[in-house]
Copies of this chain bind each other. A is one copy, B any other.
Amino acid sequence: MNLRGLWRLLVGRPLPTSRMAHERLTNAKALAVFSSDALSSSAYATEEVLRVLVLAGGAGLALTLPISATIVCLLAIVAMSYFQTIHAYPNGGGAYIVSKDNLGPGPALVAASALLIDYVLTVAVSISAGVAAITSAVPLLHEHRLALALAFVAFITVMNLRGVRESGTVFAIPTYLFLFSFGGMIAWGMVRLMVGHFPAVHTVAAPPATHALTLLLVMRAFSSGCAALTGVEAVSNGIPAFRPPESRNARIVMVTMAVLLSALFFSVSVLARHLAILPVAEETVVSQAARRILGTSPAYYLVQVSTTLILILAANTAFADFPRLAALVGRDGYLPRQLANLGDRLVFSNGIALLGGTAAVILTLFHAETHSLIPLYMVGVFISFTLSQAGMVRHWRRVRERGWRVYQVINGFGAVATAVVGLVVGIAKFGEGAWITLLVITALGLWMRGVRRHYDSVADQLRLTVAPTLIKRFPRHRIILPVQSVHNGVLNALRYALTLGDDVVGLHIEIHEGSGKKLQADWEKWAGEVPLVILPSPLRTVIWPLVRYTERQFALTGEGDLVVTLIVPEFVPRRAWHHFLHNQTALMLRLAFTHLPRARRHVQVIAAVPFYLQE
């Protein structure tokens, strides 16, 4: 099987455009695709809060539930805001579109840049976290963790290249496995808690405070917990992947996701508090809770395995959104247009490949170590939250539909809250790596502006400005055929050259002195009246005598009306390695001409005439 066959086996046969609507996701699959990132955060958000609060001892830990409740409120506000956005932008309304519509291209580019980079980091962070979970269980694999991580990236990339629907099917299983096992464990724990079924907790003394309970500490605890908010924007970016009515279906999935996430996150916080679970280095908070609730039973291991799976799968949400956003931005001319091309399988293959490739590079640079990637993360998502909601505030002022003042207040509050959290996150993590993210966001934004400027300039140059007139042929066409010796390949090219026009000339460049004379007789036998020009080349180069020859032609006949075609016989061998055995004249000439100053590129077209070799 050749490479092409292997590729087809991996990603499947091409799909016709008419299948587009069939490739949409059912709500159940959409929930799996778009919420794995958000839901997976319930596995660690409580722990992040506890880790900070425990520094202030018992007094600190007492704030666990108030802070969790605040985060849930913030989550509700953000979710509500996006609920409104989906309603207002039924064709997909990520931070980029909302900003572009309401705040202008500058903020839109910042939002796009921040989100694109955050998606790449989501892939890198979630895969390295998942791999870390695996290598904790099987330490033997620790030294192969980069290879493992890259294998996961490759797997998710290929699955996504297969198409939206198929990857939805494959990735739905682990998401629902997580929901049922993890959610079931939490529910069972809450029930036992309510009926007072747990044995009296030997109130473990809270560790002594090592840090005063300052406002800053509370802020840090709060902003760490805000990891729970990442991934909430996923649905609003992905509306076109839903079945019609897209907007309604997206809102259903969005609300379901927000409710599930809130319930899971808050319940974990309640359980941790009432079971007096403390964050320790050796075991996660969720694992401790599961062990208390389920004992070290098969059910406990199921929870652990499904948690690991959903951590890796969070990467898939980025694969659902990044290519779509890149296509939107590309269609607007701020990124290479190729990102907007639908691939064989009706997905934006270029975007998927770009995301997979970039994530692989970042994983390699950071050796797939979660702790060095984490500080880069989360900054981008809060920038896009803030811009998106600020945009919605403007939106309501413009459209003034019924109840717009209430909506505006909700979005306004959301904008301020996410801005504050974003600022806290940025400052707390600046030195550890957030500066890299901010730098890259800025650079990418500026580059995107440069891309658009180039496209605008090209469009200007392509625009037809004069009134339509029938296009006519060039008055004069000189066809040049370089000849080193007369053989079947040259005769084949000569036949083609004669087909193009009457003004054909053979051109011999004399690299070895006296070779022209020997050629002359042969040439006359086969080419008859076609003139043969012989040019000396003491420096043994082919390109310069040619350039000077065409320059003389143009000097003689005047620019504008003359066009020159260079015909190059080219061997096409049967096997790839045979290419190395032949002078790649056509290729070399093409390269040499692209390095010439434009004023000296008198050859309009280099046409390679293939001569198919049999062996």
Contacts and interface: CB of A to CB of B under 8 A. Distances in A.
A17 B500 contact: no
26 contacts: A14-B539, A15-B539, A16-B538, A17-B511, A17-B513, A17-B540, A337-B582, A337-B583, A338-B583, A342-B540, A451-B581, A454-B578, A454-B615, A457-B615, A464-B487, A464-B488, A469-B526, A470-B527, A471-B494, A472-B495, A473-B495, A474-B499, A500-B500, A572-B594, A605-B607, A605-B609
A232 to B, nearest CB: 33
A43 B528 CA distance: 67
A433 interface: no
A517 B125 CA distance: 48
Q: Lowest 9 A-B CB distances belong to which pairs?
A: A462-B487, A468-B525, A16-B538, A473-B498, A473-B499, A470-B528, A457-B615, A14-B539, A474-B499
A300 B88 CA distance: 88
A595 interface: yes
Given A458-B571, A581-B336, A477 B464 contact: no
Given A463-B487, A501-B500, A583-B337, A471 B17 contact: no
Interface string A571-615: 111000010111100000000001100100100111111101111
A549 interface: no
Given A464-B486, A501-B499, A18 B613 contact: no
Contacts of A571: 458
Contact of A605 (B474, B496, B525): B496
Interface of A: 4, 14-18, 336-338, 341-342, 344, 451, 454-455, 457-458, 461-464, 468-474, 477, 486-489, 491, 494-496, 498-501, 511, 513, 525-528, 538-541, 563, 565, 571-573, 578, 580-583, 594-595, 598, 601, 604-610, 612-615
A487 B459 CA distance: 9
Contacts of A605: 496, 607-610
Given A528-B470, A538-B17, A581-B336, A604 B612 contact: no
Contact of A613 (B458, B464, B498, B583): B458
A422 B337 CA distance: 64
Given A457-B613, A539-B344, A581-B454, A468 B17 contact: no
Contacts of A14: 539-541
Contacts of A499: 473-474, 477, 501, 563
A454 B494 CA distance: 24
A2 to B, nearest CB: 9
Nearest to A488: B462
A15 B538 CA distance: 8
B473 A461 contact: no
Given A539-B15, A594-B572, A613-B458, A563 B496 contact: yes
Contacts of A455: 581
Contacts of A15: 539
A153 to B, nearest CB: 22
Contact of A491 (B464, B528, B573): B464
Nearest to A453: B615
A467 B344 CA distance: 51
Nearest to A474: B499
A4 B457 contact: no
A461 to B, nearest CB: 6
Q: Which of A500, A526, A614 has the most CB of B within 10 A?
A: A500
A177 to B, nearest CB: 36
B595 A468 contact: no
